[in-house]
Chains A and B, each alone.
Chain A
Amino acid sequence: MNLRKYLKVYKKFLHTSLASELEYKTNIIVDLFTAILSLVGSIFLLSIFFQNNGYIGGWKFEQALIIQAIYTILNGITNTWFNPNLTEIVKHIREGTLDFVLLKPIDSQFFISLKKINPSGFLEILLGFFLLLFCMRINQINLNLSFLTLSLITISCSICILYSLWFFISTTTIWFVKTWNAIEVLRSFLYIGRFPLNSFSFSLRVFFSIFIPIAFITTIPSEVFLGLSQVWEILLEVIVASIFLITSRKFWLFALKFYSSASS
């Protein structure tokens, strides 16, 4: 893979995508307001849960806020990259414009995963980071190199898992044509990621660890921040993320063999 070429193409993707989005100023302003209101609403909801009891599943409100911060960052990444690109796969397949992608001398997964960005998602990422910094302060978390490395690894793994899950569902469009509902179901499950995994019953904890691995998406990275995580948990997170990423790649290449293109 020619890395220089891919960087150059990505630069063009950023440029064209930003230029397209900036054509619609009002839409961006509305998106920015929605991002702020959504974060305020989520924190408010979380505070209600903690109002009667200071602890939920062994987590204090200040600690649970870290999960909210990580969730906000991930949601920002989802809205910046995954949502505009991966929902487009369904459109590409239904309308047959995937033909143009497949005939370009560039990796098709790279193309369809990164072609667009939604600039308003950046604000969410930024808000998430601010919230995270605030949480670190109120939880008296000290910054050091190993902490930074571990948190970076676990957050990167979360992004990989989230991307792979979404990409996997979008790929099934090649057979099922319309998979909007499955993506909506996935998004609604991800909302649950705002709460500590321990606050759920045992069966739900198993479900959210194996089938929809929310534990790996928000809980483990949050535990890293609080110094509560075990080494095996971090290792498992890396393994799970690698499996998800490799499987989604293989699944895409396999699915393309069944692509029949839309009729003209």
Chain B
Amino acid sequence: MVQNIIEVRNLSKSFDISSKEPGLKGTIKHFFRRQTKSIKVIKDISFEIKEGEIVGFLGANGAGKTTILKMLCGLIYPSEGSISVSGYLPFRRKENFLKNITLIMGQKQQLIWDLPPIESFYLNASIYDLDKFEAKKRIKKLSEMLEIDEELFIPVRKLSLGQRMKSELLAALMHEPNILFLDEPTLGLDINAQRNLRKFLQKYNKETNATICLTSHYMKDITSLCKRVICVQEGAISYDGKLDLLLKRLSPVKEILIVCRSEDDAIKLENFGFTVKNKIKNEITIKIENDSITSSLKTILNNFDIEDLFINEPPIDEIIGKILIKKNYDF
């Protein structure tokens, strides 16, 4: 049986946040008498993650995804509850725990700006106690996987965003961590760079059985990497389970556009008992529940003279967007 590598119980986090009224009056008031209030950004959440799992954290901006990741890797102290990552209390930041994890943030960088990435890699190697030979071996292996070569010797400031992100990944994975926390790793990358990064993460997970916790606003990252998702809404978990199931729940019907040979057939089909979305001449769009799609298509093909047929999957961004837009989405 696969072991839980992350266990979170009744975790909460509150921050003291100050607010300011607009205008000069507000600024002066804010300067002399700052009004702060405690806001609970994470509310009593519990979940487990198994070794080797890739879990996507979904939620709108400010929902609390990054705060959860930062508590899991030990950067932020929790206000209440307990966290165990690889058997360690993350916020104690023990050396062995830190050697097991890595955090990659799409919008922040750790590479030395004026030097080629290779210099940062060797610095990291000394921090992680790797000898030169081992470091060289790992750099070679990871650079092949990430398909970077010459870029390793060009100053970071002269690299493109995609090349920089690949180098960031290499720097973050040199110590071969078995838990990866990725906070929007594909942010700002072009489509090809995004795809390459996803391919790399899949491969890394397959080869090392590393556990990956990922947040991203690019749905493609989530759908191609994560079988399981955790939806975070206003600091609470609203869904924790398989992505497929979530999509089925959020979008239980498919739209089918049927092009009939004649308008008569389209009229007959309209009166057959399907839920019709619209009908224009010999083209009719019907809605069919996911569960009965095979049997319904069989019936249509057997009873009507069909010229063409299109099954329209609603765009995943649109489906997931429903959770992000609507507060307290009812699953």
Q: Which partner residue on chain A sits nearest B106 by CB separation?
A: A264
Separation in Å of the A257 CB from the closest CB of chain B? Answer: 6
B119 to chain A: which residues have CB within 8 Å?
Answer: 15-16, 19
User: Is B103 a contact of A99 with CB atoms below 8 Å?
Assistant: yes
B101 to chain A: which residues have CB within 8 Å?
Answer: 103
CB within 8 Å for A105 and B110 given contacts A16-B119, A264-B105: no
A105 to B103, CA, bound (A): 13
A105 to B107, CA, bound (A): 22
CB within 8 Å for A259 and B127 given contacts A12-B122, A105-B99: no
User: Is B115 a contact of A102 with CB atoms below 8 Å?
Assistant: no
Q: Which partner residue on chain A sits nearest B104 by CB separation?
A: A100
User: Is A106 a contact of B127 with CB atoms below 8 Å?
Assistant: yes
Residue B102 CB within 8 A of the other chain: yes
CB within 8 Å for A103 and B126 given contacts A97-B108, A264-B107: no
Q: Which of B74-82, B226-234, B274-282 contacts A (4 or more CB under 8 A)?
A: B74-82
A82 to B155, CA, bound (A): 26
Task: Give 1 or 0 for each of A95-134: 1 = CB within 8 Å of chain B CB.
Answer: 1110110111110000000000000000000000000000
User: Is A105 a contact of B95 with CB atoms below 8 Å?
Assistant: yes
Task: Give 1 or 0 for each of B71-89: 1 = CB within 8 Å of chain A CB.
Answer: 0011111000000000000
User: Is A100 a contact of B127 with CB atoms below 8 Å?
Assistant: no
User: Is B99 a contact of A8 with CB atoms below 8 Å?
Assistant: no
CB within 8 Å for A13 and B123 given contacts A105-B95, A261-B76: yes
Separation in Å of the A12 CB from the closest CB of chain B? Answer: 5
Residue A28 CB within 8 A of the other chain: no
A23 contacts which of B77, B93, B114, B127 (Cβ < 8 Å)? B114
Separation in Å of the A93 CB from the closest CB of chain B? Answer: 12
Q: Which partner residue on chain B sits nearest A19 by CB separation?
A: B115
A241 to B321, CA, bound (A): 58
CB within 8 Å for A259 and B76 given contacts A5-B129, A13-B123, A99-B105: yes
Bin the interface of chain A by size.
20 to 34
Task: Report A2-43 residues with CB < 8 Å from chain B CB.
Answer: 2, 5, 8-9, 11-13, 15-16, 19-20, 23-24
Compute the total of residue contacts between A and B using a CB distance below 8 Å: 79
Residue B251 CB within 8 A of the other chain: no
Q: Which partner residue on chain B sits nearest A111 by CB separation?
A: B127
B98 contacts which of A5, A95, A99, A104 (Cβ < 8 Å)? A104
A102 contacts which of B75, B107, B108, B123 (Cβ < 8 Å)? B75
Separation in Å of the A250 CB from the closest CB of chain B? Answer: 17
Separation in Å of the A173 CB from the closest CB of chain B? Answer: 16
User: Is B110 a contact of A102 with CB atoms below 8 Å?
Assistant: no
Residue A260 CB within 8 A of the other chain: yes
Residue B6 CB within 8 A of the other chain: no
Residue B283 CB within 8 A of the other chain: no
User: Is B76 a contact of A103 with CB atoms below 8 Å?
Assistant: no
User: Is A5 a contact of B108 with CB atoms below 8 Å?
Assistant: no
A8 to B124, CA, bound (A): 11
User: Is A264 a contact of B66 with CB atoms below 8 Å?
Assistant: yes
Separation in Å of the A115 CB from the closest CB of chain B? Answer: 9
User: Is B93 a contact of A102 with CB atoms below 8 Å?
Assistant: yes
B110 contacts which of A13, A100, A106, A260 (Cβ < 8 Å)? A100
Separation in Å of the A249 CB from the closest CB of chain B? Answer: 16
Residue B145 CB within 8 A of the other chain: no
A95 to chain B: which residues have CB within 8 Å?
Answer: 108
B76 to chain A: which residues have CB within 8 Å?
Answer: 259-261
User: Is B112 a contact of A99 with CB atoms below 8 Å?
Assistant: no
Separation in Å of the A91 CB from the closest CB of chain B? Answer: 12
A9 to chain B: which residues have CB within 8 Å?
Answer: 123, 126-127
Residue B47 CB within 8 A of the other chain: no
Residue A203 CB within 8 A of the other chain: no
B77 contacts which of A100, A103, A257 (Cβ < 8 Å)? A257
Residue B329 CB within 8 A of the other chain: no
User: Is B128 a contact of A105 with CB atoms below 8 Å?
Assistant: yes
A2 to B95, CA, bound (A): 12
Separation in Å of the B85 CB from the closest CB of chain A? Answer: 12
A260 to chain B: which residues have CB within 8 Å?
Answer: 15, 76
Residue A51 CB within 8 A of the other chain: no
Task: Report B222-261 residues with CB < 8 Å from chain A CB.
Answer: none
Separation in Å of the A57 CB from the closest CB of chain B? Answer: 41
Residue B183 CB within 8 A of the other chain: yes
B105 to chain A: which residues have CB within 8 Å?
Answer: 99, 264
Separation in Å of the A126 CB from the closest CB of chain B? Answer: 25
- Give A residues with C-beta under 8 Å from B: 2, 5, 8-9, 11-13, 15-16, 19-20, 23-24, 95-97, 99-100, 102-106, 257, 259-261, 263-264
Q: List 20 A-B contacts (CB under 8 A).
A: A5-B129, A8-B126, A12-B126, A15-B119, A16-B112, A16-B119, A16-B123, A20-B115, A24-B114, A97-B109, A97-B110, A100-B103, A100-B110, A102-B74, A105-B95, A105-B128, A105-B129, A106-B127, A261-B76, A263-B66
3 interchain residue pairs of minimum CB distance: A100-B110, A105-B98, A20-B114
Further 4 A-B residue pairs, CB within 8 A, beyond A103-B98, A105-B128, A264-B105? A12-B123, A13-B123, A105-B129, A259-B76
